Amino acid sequence: MKKIFRIAAPLMAVALMSGAPVIALAQNSQNQNSATQVEDWNTPPAGTEQAQQGFRDGLEAARLDKVAKRKVDAKSSHLYKNPPVKGAEREAYRDSFEKGYQAQLQHDNPGV
């Protein structure tokens, strides 16, 4: 009986300890997948730095308009009317601003 216990006890300990890393790995994988899904809707599309900034500004403007109970319209926003960029980048900024604004509204109201 002592010989069986000497062999069985270490085997059971190894079996119990080897399961923990597998569970931890599965949990980390699941957390990374959900974080990627969260970032997808608010990640600026590829483009110039000004266009990406326009997208981020649109997200923020939509959020602030809803909180302040202002008119929810991208084209009535101050940053849309007076973009902080000059020249040819203005239209790219405005286009990205509208996309960011709409992305925020769709995220807040998924059924719309």
Q: What is the pLDDT of residues 71-97, one digit of tens each?
A: 889 999 999 998 998 888 899 999 999
pTM above 0.85, yes or no: no
Select the more confidently predicted residue: 43 or 5. Answer: 43
| Arithmetic mean of pLDDT, 24-46 | 63
The helix (run of H) or strand (run of E) holding residue 42 is helix 2-42
pLDDT the model gives residue 104: 92
Q: Per-residue pLDDT for 29 more than 90?
A: no
Select the more confidently predicted residue: 21 or 54. Answer: 54
Q: How far apart are CA 49 and CA 7, in angstroms?
A: 64
